[in-house]
Amino acid sequence: MPTLGCQPENSYSIDTCLPLPQCTSFFDNFDKPDTVIALTNFSGDPLDASWTSDFMPNNARIENGNLVLTLKRNDAVNKFGNRPGFGATVSSTRWMLYGTVTARIKAGSLSGGVVSSFIYRNAVTGDEIDYEWVGKQPNEVQSNYYWNTPPTMDPKDIDYSHSRRQDVGINLSQEYQTYTIEWLPDRLTWFINGQVVRTLLKSEVNGTQYPSTPSQIQFSVWDGGLGDPATTEWSGGPTRYEDNQAPYEMYVDFVDIKCFAPVDPVTTPWPPKDKGFQGTVNPLAKDFTLAKEAVVLGDNAPTFSTLENGGLHWGRFNGGKNLNQNYPIIPKKKNVAGRLGFRNMQWSGLVSVVNTLALYTLSALS
């Protein structure tokens, strides 16, 4: 996880900041309830849990061998004068730079406006690879990717033309299907039930406009039908919330993660033992907000910089220009509804990650 609360340029050493927890290959059939914990309870150590529930912790749970994400009616009024429901986002506690993830999913998009998602995402750079389901087309799943679309980017400048629709021929919110996203340095491949449905070569996008920054694996269900009008149209809203209606629920039966370059959590512990870090809880850190923070991720972890590759790469801090100098203070309140709203939810989620990691007051013993 990025050390977004650490300022290496103001520290004793640029190596003071903790590294990003790197990808380990594993299979999760969601048979242990403590696999998912609330983000606010997450220490930053990936051995504590495999997943975090990022917004409303009780909207995600493990039940009967499934990860269940819930979208519930909500009374808060958004800027469009609507009362969108509040859903759930579950994120991996380790980050992956290339690899293959397979998940058996029953989408939660039983109504127009309800969006279900299976995503690889970097919330800082805006790189994203996904599958999404919308209630407007219950038999279809959409594959998509974004490159270099940070949350501060004007939505008018974002390229939304990469989405492709796949008609599976059955209601995907009523039956489980197996979805795979293979992310390699030179190509992206989307599969449904083991069959290739889409391939993107890096060479097709100038060799550069391609997701290439370490990302979290995420599952989410959210209300796209009562927010931004364009998102409402895309998702088939407005979303229905009838009296005594059961919440919308997305189910994940299992996740199989195969990292391109996995690490062994035993031989590559977090934090790295050779750094000699000590962590102490600092409750005042909950008021922390990001402002021009350097993001330095250790000896063998990615480093945000604006050097020649313009993104993250594996290696030591190289003294490059701080990427986050382009980022203002994170707004504490954002619209939660709509496809644009999901981007804002992710940005708000980044604040939550920052707040959580900032609970560690770190000191180097060397």
Strand 36-38 relative to strand 195-201, pairing? unpaired
H or E element at residue 234: helix 229-235
Separation of alpha carbons 70 and 220, rounded Å = 9
Could you tell me the sign of the dihedral formed by the alpha carbons of 289, 291, 296, 297, in that order? positive
Q: In the predicted model, is pLDDT for residue 192 greater than 50? A: yes
Separation of alpha carbons 230 and 311, rounded Å = 30
Tokens found for residue 239: 């979303």
Q: What was the pLDDT predicted at 274?
A: 53
Q: What was the pLDDT predicted at 77?
A: 92
Tokens found for residue 349: 């989620």
Q: In the predicted model, is pLDDT for residue 10 greater than 50? A: yes
Separation of alpha carbons 232 and 154, rounded Å = 19
Domains, the chain, ordered by start: 22-263 (2.60.120.200)
Compute the average pLDDT of residues 277-297. 29
Separation of alpha carbons 215 and 329, rounded Å = 22
Q: What was the pLDDT predicted at 154?
A: 87
Closest CA to 1 of 266, 276, 359, 320: 359
What integer best gives the mean pLDDT of the chain? Answer: 75
Residues near 212 by Cβ (< 8 Å), separated by ≥ 6? 97, 127, 185, 309, 311, 312
Compute the average pLDDT of residues 178-200. 97
Q: Which of 58-72, 173-187, 320-334 shows the lowest mean pLDDT across its residues?
A: 320-334
Q: What was the pLDDT predicted at 64?
A: 96
Q: What was the pLDDT predicted at 294?
A: 26
Q: In the predicted model, is pLDDT for residue 86 greater than 80? A: yes
Q: What was the pLDDT predicted at 316?
A: 27
Q: In the predicted model, is pLDDT for residue 312 greater than 90? A: no
